[in-house]
Structures are given as structure tokens and as C-alpha cells.
Structure 1
Amino acid sequence: MSDEFDDEYRQVRRFEAHRDHLRAVAFRMLGSTGEADDAVQEAWMRFARTDTADVENLRGWLTTVVSRICLNLLRSRRTRREEALDADLPLSAEPGAGDDPEAAAVMADSVGLALQVVLDSLGPAERLAFVLHDLFGVPFDRIAPILDRTPEAARQLASRARRRVRSGRPAPDVRRQKSVVDAFLAAAREGRFEDLLAVLDPDIVVVADAAAVATGFSGREVIGAETVAALFNGQARQAVAVLVDGTAGAMWAPGGDPRSVLAFTVIDGKVAGIDIVNDPEAIAALDLVAFGD
């Protein structure tokens, strides 16, 4: 009995050593202290049922477990159209800061309530990629399996989320996004350079994946409205507007088979960023939905 008790005690201590970290991750994912605690408790139950004796990086293993739980909760919440943000939560109640004043200051600065509001506007996949990579330093090759995507696709998700966070604004209504994307596509198709320029943010950034570069796109990153307008002017003739992971985008799908997807970041009525995805595996993992009439 004593040996069994000792084993259970060691298991509890192993988990508790990472509880604050897991709660911080879950809170950033979910924006709710109650849901964060539930997610951590579920992670504990999975940990208790699993033989982790050979797991070298237990913190990483547990982070993956709690991230999958949070992703499922975010997707479920999205279908229910629920708002789970703790609007009245004071910054001093941020989980994960512990008794370290420096850590508490960093947490309050970088992931305060204003940021939480913006995070709450992101799609589940974007939110997970950004939170894990930008806030907790998890590499994309570890994020990718959680999302069932390639590391490059995870990187692009985080990039889109980062642009939204830096703007300091929640995502606009998708119908308004679509009107901007439609204007972009129409100007591009018809070769109306000035109209195309008018819909682009002066500092627009276009990021292409390796597959797009391999098929002739002019580089991994293109910056500036005039350069981007020249690049797309007279192009995109067969592209159609679609929802890409819940935000307005476009795709080229000859014969109904998506070959290229453009994920747009729209800020203040301007296209501030475009991610071009040509990798077939990355496209297959995207949630592409046609706009209704």
C-alpha cells in the first residue's frame, strides 16, 4: 500500500509542477478562468490514465494535451456562438504568473484584457497557433500535429493572428471583409491598378508558402502596396471569394479542386495581409466554406 501511495504522490507532484503553466496556456486559449480550470482538470485525468514514464519532455507533452482539449472547446464554442471572455477579470487575477513579480509584469503587459478581446475574435486554429508560438514559445513543428497541419501552415496561421493582434482590433464582420476581398479580386481581374492600390494598406505584407514560390510566385514575402498591386494586377481571373478558417479569403479551384488559397487580413477596410497557400496538404487542412447568396 505504501508503494502505491508513493507512486500516486509522485504522479501528483509531477503534474503539479506544471499546473500554473498549463492553466496560463488554457486561459490564453479560452479567455475564461472556469474553462481553463476545467481544461487543466481534464488534462490531469488523461495524464493519470497514461503511462508517461518514458516521456522526456513532460511539460511539452502536457502542453499538447491541454492544447488539444482547448481546441475542441473553442470549436464547440464557435458552433454554439458563445462568448466566454471573463470581461470583469482584473489583470491581477491572471493565471500562471505565480509569485514572480517579473513574470506577473510581463504577463500583464503582453496578454492583458485588451489582447484577450482580440484573441477572442480569432478562429480556433489561428488562436492556438498564435498563443502557443508567440506567447509560450512552442515551435511550429510541435504545433502542427495539434492542428493536423504542416509546420508551414501553422506558421501562416500565427502570422495572420499576429497581424490582427498588432492592429489591436477584433476581426470585422465577415461580410464587410468579403466586400473588401471582392473589390480586390474585381480590380485584379480587370487590371484596374489604381482601384487595386486603393484597397491595399500601404504596408501590406504578402507571404507565400514554399509551394507557391516553387510554382512561380515572386518570393516568400512581398511588402508594400505598389509592389503587391503590380503583382496582382490583371491576375486572379478565376479566383472566387470563400471563407478561409472563418475569415474572408479567396481560392482558385479549377474543376472544383482547390489549387491555391489566399487568406486575407482586412483592417479598417484595407487588405493588410495575404497568405498564399499552395501546398496540397496545407490546403486540405483548411476549413474552406463558400459564401451564401
Structure 2
Amino acid sequence: MDARNQTAVSEFLLLGLTEDQALQPLIFSLFLSMYLVTILGNLLIILAISSDTHLHTPMYFFLSNLSFTDICISNIAVPKMLINIQTQTQRITYTGCLSQVYFFLVFTGLENCLLAVMAYDRYVAICHPLRYTVIMNPILCILLVLLSLLISVAHALLHTLMVLHLSFCTALEIPHFFCELAQVIKLSCSDALINNLLVYLVAGLFAGVPLTGIFFSYIHIVSSVLRMPSSGGKHKAFSTCGSHLSVVSLFYGTGFGVYISSAVTDSSRKTAVASVMYSVVTQMLNPFIYSLRNRDIKGALRKLIGSTASPL
């Protein structure tokens, strides 16, 4: 089979999660429901934080950025999948496919960095409470978010530019519901050794550094909390970290689960099903984790809903 230059490729085919046409209406309803819940849940978190002046703190500033990132991740793949199911087509343009690859890497990378920044914020709040407002000043908070975005953009740009140098065969079927980097590289007819090495090397570095930072932050947090004399202080300190730890466990747990499943199974479809967890479900659950475990967020949501409903 002859390879052709990537500039001649006009479209890819997204095969989705299953070939069974009878299941398509169920999949459409399920993903539409998850998409709407994700958008509504994260928007409520952002609106609740912005409307309550008591929540204008570094912790909730980072949380609102995390919610915005979750909205962006959900908008990358799910709408196109729903449109394809509704129109009974599997096509996605070459440009559209690379755009999905790029923006998915940008916003998952941004979420990865934000979780590390939020761990640092909790470390400063618990281990250096008297210096918290001085250290976590507004300028530093904005710089941390911008730095996270810059790193994520550079990471995504590196992989996307490397994909642009690949040539593709005539069989351009992607056994997934969106254009994932690893699946696109597999379609290449040219030598993709450098691309694959970069995926593992950069992914290990990009995930390993923030995860290490989170790990060491919580070692210091636990050490400081255990030295607290009152049980009430310990409970309050741990409660402020509980939601963040839950989100970290969900994000990294589902991500590692996908890579493990891809390593132990040869079925790309099974890997695609597993990837639903970190590309769709995680973003849907994050608002519930923070709203159910955080009294301040619950209070702000009640005020927001109450003020919205009162004119009616």
C-alpha cells in the first residue's frame, strides 16, 4: 500500500465505540446527558465562585480555572461525536482531527498542571498559614495559571507539529470516538518511531513532574496536620484537601487505567471505551466532588440558585 503525503489527506473516519447500529441511540442519549451535566455543573461552580466575594481566594480561583478547563475538554470531542451519530456519518476533516489532537493535549495538560498548582496552594495554606496571603498573592496565582497554560500549549504544539510530518495510508479509520494522538500516529505509513518515543518520554515527564509535586506537597501537609494539637484543626485541614485528593485520584487513576488497558489488550475499541472515563466522566464528576464535599461551595450554590429563582 503506497503512502501519500499528509497534505493530500482530506478526512479521517471516526469508528466510535461500537459498530452496532442498534446501540447508537443509547450512546447518543448517554453522551448527551453526560455532556449537558458536565457543562451545567462546571458553569454553576464558576458562577458560584464569581458571585460570592467570600470565595475570591486562591483556592477557588484555581478551582474556577479547573472547571473552565473541564468545560473545554468536554467541548473538544463530545459534540462532534453526537453530530456524527445524529447524521450517521463517521467523517472528520484532517484539520478537524488535528485540532482535536491539539486542543485535547492543551486542556488535559492544563488540568494536569492545575492539579499540581492546587496541591501547592493547599501546602502553603496548611504548612505556612501565617504567610499564606503573602505567598499566594493575586499576581503569583495568575502567573501560575499562565505558566501552566504556556507549558501545556508548548507540549501540545510539539506533538501536533510532529504529526504534521507524518504520511498516511489510504486506510484512515480511527477506532475511537475522537482523534487521540496515539491512534492518529498508528495510522501513519511513515516511520513514527520519533513520534512514539516523544509520546512516552514527554508524557512521562509531563505527568511525572506534577504528580511528584502533588506527592511531596501532601507528604508535608500530612506531616503538618499530624503535629496539630486539636482534632478539630486536623479535621478542618484534611477536609480542605479531601476534594482535591479525590479529583487527583480520579484524573490520574483513569488516565493510568487507559494506558494499562492499551498495554494489556490489542483491541483499540476496548481502549476507546476505557478512555471515556478520563475524557468525559472525570469532567462530569469534578463539580459533584467539590460541591458535595465543600460547605463553602454548597453555600454559594444555594445563594446563586436562590437569587436566580427569587425574581421568578
Q: TM-score with structure 1 length normalisation? A: 0.24
Q: TM-score with structure 2 length normalisation? A: 0.23
Instruction: Name the structure with the higher strand share.
Output: 1
- Structure with bigger RCO (C-alpha 8 Å, 6+ apart): 2
Instruction: Name the structure with the higher helix share.
Output: 2
